[in-house]
Amino acid sequence: MQTSDRIRIKRNVRTIWISDVHLGFPGCSADYLLAFIRDMRCERLYLVGDIIDFWALKKKRYWPQAHNNVVRSILGKAKHDTRVIYVPGNHDEAMREYAGLTLGNVEIHDRIIHETADGRRLLVMHGDQFDSAVVNSKFIGLIGSSAYELLLRMNRYVNWWRERMGLDYWSLAAATKHKVKKAVKYISNFEQAVAHEAHRQQVDGLICGHIHRAELTRLDGVTYMNCGDWVESCTALVEHHDGTIELLKLTDEAQVLKRMEPIRPELAA
């Protein structure tokens, strides 16, 4: 059965956010993603990091045709009527050096604020920036202090260490299976750090990825949205033309997991 026969969406939306695609990693569900991208029309497509998995490619060269097709499909959208914005993550960190540039119609930003049709301001970033704080719950207690700010600035060294130790998101996936308590603590620390950052940046919400756990919820007065991933969950966030945001899961049919109505629909274009 062809993947394209199974997924029929044909939807026109204002914005799509996807993250943690991990092209170059054998676990990437490239066929599903391709079907999703081809069936959606959008004005803006945000690639919220870990799109190409350079860590996996460094270990083993793996790049099947399906992964080329995903890249071509995205570049094709960028060439025509979609504004494509690439916000790199830790697995494609090299792209961060090119923040501010537009390569092949793809804009690269380290982080960027998206304004919804109903006027909400959402900060879009990958989320690995919080790693140094979330790995240990002692650090999360430092939120708001100068030690916490320093910790976040030191994060690139944490990533460097993680890459060399061969630690990546799988440590979380493994933790979920074997040490449920620890994983729950990790996720709640991550969400707390996200909410804090949203307040600090004075935005209405934050969209990220990184922990491979899709979410759309209110937290400490801000909206926390996580794109999930295209390794296991096959999820995406979409914004409709009135500012409604939905979390979609690609199964046989696109399934709406969670939905957030526009706050001020009268402002919607």
Residues forming contacts to Mn ion in the complex (CB under 5 A) are 50, 89-90, 128, 210
Q: Rounded to an integer, what distance in angstroms lies between the CA atom of residue 212 and that of residue 9?
A: 23
Q: Which amino acid type is present at position 217?
A: T
- The residue with its CB nearest to Mn ion is 210
Q: Could you tell me which of 205, 263, 216 has the C-alpha nearest to residue 238?
A: 216
- The token pair at 26 is 């054998």
Least Å from the CB of residue 163 to Mn ion? 11
Least Å from the CB of residue 187 to Mn ion? 14
Confirm if 260 and 53 have CB atoms less than 8 A apart: no
* Placement of tokens 């060269």 in the chain: 61
Least Å from the CB of residue 22 to Mn ion? 9
Least Å from the CB of residue 205 to Mn ion? 19
Q: Could you tell me which of 167, 206, 166, 170 has the C-alpha nearest to residue 190?
A: 206
Q: Which is nearer to Mn ion, 13 or 225 (CB)?
A: 225
Q: Which is nearer to Mn ion, 127 or 243 (CB)?
A: 127
The distance in angstroms from the start CA to the end CA of the chain is: 40
Q: Which is nearer to Mn ion, 40 or 123 (CB)?
A: 123
Least Å from the CB of residue 20 to Mn ion? 6
Q: Rounded to an integer, what distance in angstroms lies between the CA atom of residue 194 and that of residue 80?
A: 34
What Rg value do the Cα atoms of the chain yield, rounded? 18
Q: Which is nearer to Mn ion, 96 or 240 (CB)?
A: 96
Least Å from the CB of residue 224 to Mn ion? 16
Q: Which is nearer to Mn ion, 89 or 228 (CB)?
A: 89
Q: Could you tell me which of 269, 263, 236 has the C-alpha nearest to residue 120?
A: 263
Cα maximum dimension of the chain:
55
147 Cβ contact partners less than 8 Å away, ≥ 6 residues apart: none
Q: Which is nearer to Mn ion, 14 or 162 (CB)?
A: 162
